[in-house]
Structure 1
Amino acid sequence: MLQKGLNSFQIKVIALILMVFDHIHYIFSGIWDIPMWFTMLGRVSAPLFIFISANGMRYTKHPEKYMLRLWAGSVFMSLGNRLMNAYFPLPGGGIIMNNIFSTLFISALVIYCIRKIQERKREGQPFVRYLLLMAVPVVSSFLIVLTMLAPGLTAVSTVIMALVPSVLFCEGSFLFALLGVGFYFCLDSKKRLSLFYALFCLFVLFTGYRPGEGLLSVFTADIQWLMIFALPVMLLYNKQKGAGMKYFFYLFYPAHIYLFAILAFYFAGR
């Protein structure tokens, strides 16, 4: 009997396909005329990955192991991005900054700490260490900024940025990190999820609107608000895991970005 809706694996596949369109536009635009709708489709991708990650924190029996995988992916991407930008620079001066793992890790860390704080409060146990742990991505942001501004300490900022994901320098910045936390607390109600996400996208729309350029600017300047079209997919989620292949997504994400970057480097030089 066929199950209604979409399971976790199917939603990740949808997000993955849309992500590839987005990265094709970003990486190859300096070589070919890639249509704008490629990146418009891509606006849906990150929210879907964040949504599934929040669900993963809800259902996983081993949240620590899940967060460790995200952290390892974040460190790998930080180092990989640096190497790719050094040896295979994108045409047109663009750089590779993609690292959704850092954003997912911060969201998962905050969710984990909030859960632990709630548990400790119910048991009458101290929970200060979880407050401190939750503050790590914020503290790392300040340390990165300070070391970037201090003469001779830029190497230190690079190390901190690579090893300790920060709310200011993760993909999508603190907004996307908070989006994952918001998703987590809306998972039990589709109405609450819809309202939260609609308001979030509305905020993104207003912050991206440029009055001097008119209404057309929301389709040409900052199109991040198009992420609202991820909502119908989220509402189809049936809370089923689906097929395994969890490591496939961890591997495919950096692999396709770096492959595209290498191809763009050689095509641009021909």
Structure 2
Amino acid sequence: MERIKNNIFFNLSNTMLKIIGLVCMTIDHLYLYVFANTTINVSIFRIVGRIAAPLFLFAVIQAMRYSSDKKSYIFRLYKYHICICILEIVLSYLLHSEISFNVIPEWLFTAIYIYLIDMIIKKEHIIRHIVLMLIPILVGIGSLIIGPSCSVINVFLPNIFTIQYSPFFLILGIGWYYMKKKKNQIVALIFFSVFVLIGSYIVSASQYWVYPGLFNYTQAWMVLAAPFIALYNNRKGKNLKKFFYIYYPTHICIFLLLGRFVH
């Protein structure tokens, strides 16, 4: 039993969870950017890819829980978001096609709201932090009213209503943060996956396609992330921060070029 507990496959650090998420994401993106418009149809690639987002969200939660400087972590995510947006603009220009793959706002808004809620719970400048919580919502509404012309503004002020996995995903992350037991976090993920599945049926039956990044049948397979979360050992693991930051945009660029070649 002790040998099993010490085995790396039964004892996952935060870094290991991110590596597993990275592998799943890569498999998903290989199909999405390279083989999606070919005769190859391997839905298992997309199913495996659904494991990635919950694991990355879980990793962000742990970073916020154990970080000694939450503000610096949030600001780092914000700067990374801007870098990804600039890369999207450059790629869209070079490839003469709209390129959009930025999921960083999901993690950024989750971290921001966790920080603000923490400050309110601690009764530190309550009114100020409530106002700060309202700002992303007001900016998002304004962006929706103005329309596509505000896309440049969204580089610096991302729209909380147009993030890929919807604001519901943020709620899952915030809920995870305040759940101390992994059992409760796993149950929350299972219920959320069922919610996504039911939502997918409702959305597909209606004439409005709302948050297709979340409400599609494949996305419900995010429940497969549960076993990995169950094996989390509450440890940070090796510091591969720079590797993850570099790998994400790099593999997208490579797959986009491969996709152009294959097609």
Matches within 5 A, 1:96-245: 96-119=99-122, 121=123, 125-148=124-147, 154-155=148-149, 157-186=150-179, 188-209=180-201, 222-245=217-240
- The worse-fitting range, judged by mean Cα deviation, of 33-42 and 229-238 is 33-42
Q: Could you tell me which of 81, 88, 91 is aligned with 1:74?
A: 81
Aligned counterparts of 2:227 and 2:152: Cα–Cα separation in 1:
40
CA distance in 2, matches of 1:74, 1:183: 23
Aligned to 1:258: 253
Tell me which residue corresponds to 2:50.
43
Are the aligned partners of 1:201 and 1:227 in contact in 2 as well (CA < 8 Å)?
A: yes
- Mark the runs of 5 or more structure 2 residues left unpaired by the alignment: 206-215
| Equivalent in the alignment of 1:18 | 24
1-structure distance, mates of 2:39, 2:59: 33
- For 1:89 and 1:199, how far apart are their aligned partners in 2? 41
Q: Deviations over 1:116-147 (max 9, x none)?
A: 1111x2xxx53211112222221221111111
Does the CA contact (< 8 Å) of 1:167 and 1:177 recur in 2? no
Structure 1 counterpart of 2:209: none
- What residue in structure 2 maps to residue 86 of structure 1? 93
Question: CA contact under 8 A between 1:88 and 1:262: conserved in structure 2?
Answer: no
Q: By how many angstroms is 1:53 displaced?
A: 0.3
Aligned length: 245
Distance of 1:260 and 1:250 partners within structure 2:
17
Contact 2:183 2:230 in 1 (8 A): no
After superposing the two structures, state which structure 1 stretch, 1-10 or 41-50, moved more.
Answer: 1-10
User: Normalising by the residue count of structure 1, what TM-score does the alignment of the two structures yield?
Assistant: 0.84
Residue 65 (structure 1) shift = 0.9
| Cα distance, 1:34 vs structure 2 | 4.5
CA RMSD of aligned residues (A): 1.9
Please say if residues 13 and 232 of structure 2, whose CA atoms lie closer than 8 Å, have aligned partners that are also in contact: yes
**Cα distance, 1:101 vs. partner?**
1.2
Shift of residue 96 of structure 1? 3.3
- Counterpart of 1:208 in structure 2: which amino acid? S
- Mapped partners of 1:245, 1:10: distance in 2: 10
TM-score of the pair, normalised by structure 2: 0.87
